[in-house]
Chains A and B, each alone.
Chain A
Amino acid sequence: MMGNILVLAEHRQGSLREITFEMLAIAPQLSSDMGGEAVVLLIGSGVDEMAVKIASYGVKVLVIDDPLFEDFNGEKYQKVISAVIDDLKPSVVMTGHTAQGVDFMPPLAVEKRLPLVMEAIALEYTDGALKATRQLYSGKVNAIVAFKPADTYLVTIREGIAEAPEITTAGPVEKINTPLKEDLDYRKFVEYIEAEVGDVDITQSDILVAIGRGLKEDKNLPLIEELAKAVKADIAGSRAATDAGWISQDRQVGTSGKTVKPKLYIAMGISGAFQHVAGMKGAKTVVAINKDPEAPIFNVADYAIVEDMFKVVPKLTEKLKELKS
């Protein structure tokens, strides 16, 4: 249908992922601008409850419910969505820019020769043209990308750019048959492996002191530990800090680490790459110390210090100790 947006619901291990609802804050408005409506496609096995939940946001939900879709499999998703596009001819197919979305959207675009924009942070439809905003150089530059006219536009949406809308009158739930009839032998899901649990669970911490590549060397760690001790914080960090071995994997904050919501988050020597910010923007108060005045971390900070962290931290620790005693 002209103007319709097909939103792909995302779920894992039995629960819907937040991005599904975030897209419901974007798709209905955009589809009405485009003269159509938003329709959600839910692929899975035994997903009745999820379907009802999504429908409660006032959208129509199409459900493909089959044991073949017990677990996520990018190749299967590609086949199904390809068939659904042929069938429903939506103007836009929208998925999350997630480990799922990035796995099947690019091949789908190649297969169907459709235009694709990855990780949009905004979408606008004016004068018959669809334009997306996305980011380059880890957030230092924005780009406006225009789709050339096509039957269907493919787009993945960055996580966390919108908030789930209010629940309204439930929309209809409609089951459709699976276009995929048998299992694939060339890509098989084997299992999930949970991240190792360490000694502290940073998702429960009230205060986090987070370090990034700016720490430079592990010999600088004691400085941070001292600060953390002074304010009874736990230490967390960016992926760069994990890769360097300064902190254990289970203390990594961000898309491939933990999502944290502490009362206070002190980010030091962290540039604020989106993947990192995604995990900590729920913090109530954010302090950022970075020597680069352009660092994107300042965009999410409440208090900012542009300075070499090593010039600030010792004094900060000292002063905090003094004021708290």
Chain B
Amino acid sequence: MMRGMIMISETNSFTEKFDLLGCIQCGRCTGGCPVTVRADLNVRRFVYDAYNEEKLDELARLAEIWDCTTCNTCAVRCPKGLKPLEVLLALRSMVVESGKVEPTVRDALQSVLLEGNPWEKPRAIRCDWMDGLDVKMAEPGVPVENLFFVCCTIAYDPRLQIIARNMVRILNKLDLDYGFIGTDETCCGSEVRTLGEEGLFEMLIEDNTELLNSFEAKRIVAFSPHCFSVFNTYYPDLKSEVIHYTQLFDELVGENKIPWRGELQKKVVYHDPCYLGKLSGVYDEPRSVLQKIPGVELLEFDRCRERSLCCEGSGGKMWVESHSKKERLAETRIKDARALGADIVAVSCPFCLLTLEDALKGLGFEEEMRVAEIMELLGEVVEE
């Protein structure tokens, strides 16, 4: 009996927690939601229905709660300041707590618990990307100016390791005080949160805060917008400031510290990652870095900055396939880039890189254009 009562008061808080009564059902959230063109998701409907706590179980069983990419558009657009997507994530949590998640989600979450990354890779090989490089390691208690936090996806995916490797090569060329964490580095929890595993997310916040605070870092430089955003939003006790690496490089190019060695005579269009742009308001720094690369002609998407189209790489979508056969948003994005005449679609997020590159290959445009992370481009034009 007691248990049941606790449950009810917990679900009651759905209404309070997400301020459901504040909703005026204007529909701006759904109106801006990018996945509506592909999936049945109507987020306004969930904000409305979740008010009825007896319906929550039924809502949690709907497949479309997994279609949300957590792009944050709905929250940005809501005139009442609600965060409609959080209702969906809370419903995902209910599924996670029951244990009946997709096997892919199960394995990713379990891997975060056991190995500190969602890719089912041993913790012991987290730093294999450093092989053959002279990497400075940070030490607990020893002051360091820039403490780098490598995202799990960049650390393990051979396609993305170049981002970290280029970073180290360039850092070694500059007179910059920096350090890397090593194999103790653990998933930031961004995707864990969006997959609805609240308990695991809380645990990661606790453990990571302790780990990161053990380094006397002036600031933490995150490779991925996801780690960057989640540290700034959900880690209240971090002692150090957290920035995205494009912000660091914006400083460096501003101070003329980058030893350019070549040019990139290309038309480059920059794709704003949701977690750097819409969630964190960092729009200018990546552009300014790109603009400083000798030879680059920077183009803009029609839908850019706050209105940037989501690539569908986040919100746990790496592990949950949507059943829609309609065109992927990433494909739309690549087609838009081609229509602009871009040679390169530049991104500053590992997930954007994977989804957009996949779309580009799927469309068969490899001959004419490519997708590249800003760090990859820098590696091509900076002295090492």
Residues of A within 8 A of B (CB): 217-219, 244, 308, 314
Contact = CB atoms under 8 A, between A and B. Distances in A.
A314 B104 contact: no
Interface string B74-110: 0000000000000000000000000000011000000
B361 A219 contact: no
Contacts of A308: 158
Contacts of A217: 104, 321
A217 B354 CA distance: 15
Interface in B295-321: 321
7 contacts: A217-B104, A217-B321, A218-B321, A219-B321, A244-B103, A308-B158, A314-B361
Interface of B: 103-104, 158, 321, 361
A244 B106 CA distance: 13
B117 to A, nearest CB: 16
Contacts of A314: 361
Q: What are the nearest 7 A-B pairs in CB distance?
A: A219-B321, A217-B321, A217-B104, A218-B321, A314-B361, A244-B103, A308-B158
A14 to B, nearest CB: 40
A244 to B, nearest CB: 7
Nearest to A222: B362
Nearest to A243: B103
B329 to A, nearest CB: 15
A308 B104 CA distance: 20
Contacts of A218: 321
Contacts of B104: 217
B327 to A, nearest CB: 14
Contacts of B158: 308
A308 B361 CA distance: 15
Nearest to B322: A219
B119 to A, nearest CB: 11
B62 to A, nearest CB: 20
B39 to A, nearest CB: 14
A314 B357 CA distance: 14
A314 B366 CA distance: 12
A169 to B, nearest CB: 57
B367 to A, nearest CB: 12
A28 to B, nearest CB: 46
A133 to B, nearest CB: 28
A135 B104 CA distance: 30
A222 to B, nearest CB: 10
A218 B158 CA distance: 22
Nearest to A219: B321
A322 to B, nearest CB: 14
A218 B103 CA distance: 12
Contacts of A219: 321
A314 B358 CA distance: 12
A219 B330 CA distance: 15
B261 to A, nearest CB: 29
Nearest to B104: A217
Contacts of B361: 314
A309 to B, nearest CB: 13
A290 to B, nearest CB: 14
Nearest to A216: B104
Nearest to B319: A217
B121 to A, nearest CB: 13
A266 to B, nearest CB: 21
A251 to B, nearest CB: 19
Contacts of B321: 217-219
A244 B104 CA distance: 10
A54 B103 CA distance: 48
